[in-house]
Amino acid sequence: MHVVIVGNGVAGTEAALAIRRRLSPQDARITLISEEHPYFFSRTALMYAYMEKMQRRDLEPYEREMYRRQKIERIQNRVVDLDADAHTITLRSGATLSYDRLLLAVGARPRMVPFEGLEKVKDGLVHFVSMQDLDHCERLTWSTEEAVVLGGGLIGVELAESFVHHGLKVSFVVREPYFWPAALAAEEGEIIGEEIRRHGIELIVDQELKTIESDEAGRVSGVGLSDGHHLPAQMLGVAIGVVPNVDWLREVKSSPELGRGIRVDRSFRTSLPDVFAAGDCAEIGADGEVPLLETIWYSAKLQGQRAAGAILGDEVSYTPPIFYNSSKFFGIEYTTVGECVGVPSGTRSLYRRHESRPITQRILFDEAQVRGFSMLGSRWDHTLLQQWVAERRPLSYVREHLHRAQFDVEFGRVDLSKFQEEERTL
């Protein structure tokens, strides 16, 4: 059997490894195709490479030797055509590859909107999701004094932090009234906003980007905001989300069914025979269901592993686990589990705030059980929090056992009794 995997990101690589764990090289030939980088690298660590905390080689989670030992073939090229009847794909180099099973793990690309003046921009506008974006940022940093970051999400903060590290004057433009309302409540958003400002970044909320200005050479020179303000900038970082990287599939000979992403059922099968999709590019759900698009590292990893099972003929029915995520905004760590935003009205919220330090916990619950946790400024064991949600534990139980889920370093655990509490109905 020849399994061809397009995309060597986390979903593609995990799928390849999962297949290899079960089938020897005699039973399965595995080919990984990617244009971006010859080896799997950790996209999540791009900012550390940019900030010189890591070297590029350190971004690779597996030793290069591993591909040789596991007999996983790699091709650095771009797939330009797919013929499902002939079971072949065509590369830009002109070569044609036949497959028995094909996994599309092509990920996502940065979302973009047609800002005014965009057509004149030839340089200075950066995204921050690919290795090429990193090259681009590094090339521009030397000639940049001021930068603007657009978009109130995680990649935006990462980019802003990296810019600050390089001594640029950074303005961070967020459309919403406070930072990241998609995940945080107003109080927490304010704390993060404070942290962002504390690092010398001008955080501009409630503003949209209207125009992009550029000089004669086409290099970004500034931006105009919706309130008429003008910000000078030689670099503009646009981090307003990502969209599944599927446009190229509209032009191939046999195109799988597409929604926002590649439509797959819960076993990662596309509408084409023997073609599967997983990771950021996959839109999961049978007809009539609300399609699921997950763009988180851990989800992509899990999807890659499950898709490998489906490729090998297992009965797979993917259901995402109780939602969890974690991140870090400069020095503040954040863990979220379960439902925290967009909860049904009537849900109760217990908000606990440390007297002097930016440490908070928010627990959402109703009469019967806890529903979600949003923890800021200290470390938590999400598996235990997830377990309490799954076990439908009442608030009283959770409060009594909360200390068990603390995950901070020795000597660093805060005394959970020293928190101001506020309970309210949402």
Residues interacting with another protein, by CB under 8 A?
A: 10, 42, 44-45, 48-55, 58-61, 63, 65, 137-138, 141-142, 165-167, 297-298, 301-302, 306, 309-310, 314-319, 321-322, 324, 326-328, 331, 333, 335, 379-384, 386-387, 390-391, 404, 407-412
Q: Considering beta carbons, is residue 115 or 180 the nearer one to another protein?
A: 180
Q: Considering beta carbons, is residue 16 or 302 the nearer one to another protein?
A: 302
The pairing of strands 220-225 and 146-150 is unpaired
Scan for tokens 């670099």, then name that residue: 235
Smallest gap from residue 301 Cβ to another protein (A):
8
Q: Considering beta carbons, is residue 9 or 193 the nearer one to another protein?
A: 9
Q: Considering beta carbons, is residue 213 or 283 the nearer one to another protein?
A: 283
Q: Is 13 helix (H, G, I), strand (E, B) or coil?
A: helix
Smallest gap from residue 54 Cβ to another protein (A):
5
Both tokens assigned to 63:
């030793």
The Cα 380–Cα 406 span in angstroms is: 5
The Cα 366–Cα 239 span in angstroms is: 35
Smallest gap from residue 56 Cβ to another protein (A):
10
Q: Considering beta carbons, is residue 54 or 80 the nearer one to another protein?
A: 54
Q: Is 139 helix (H, G, I), strand (E, B) or coil?
A: helix
Q: Considering beta carbons, is residue 48 or 248 the nearer one to another protein?
A: 48
Q: How far is the CA of 313 from the CAs of 38, 149, 396, in angstroms?
A: 29, 45, 45
Residue type, 377: G
The Cα 36–Cα 38 span in angstroms is: 7
CB contact at 8 A, 192 and 199: no
CB contact at 8 A, 107 and 248: no
Q: How far is the CA of 70 from the CAs of 16, 309, 354, in angstroms?
A: 10, 18, 50
Smallest gap from residue 297 Cβ to another protein (A):
4
Q: Is 157 helix (H, G, I), strand (E, B) or coil?
A: helix
Strand partners, 169: 146
CB contact at 8 A, 12 and 4: no
CB contact at 8 A, 372 and 349: no
Q: Considering beta carbons, is residue 115 or 276 the nearer one to another protein?
A: 276
Q: Considering beta carbons, is residue 229 or 418 the nearer one to another protein?
A: 418
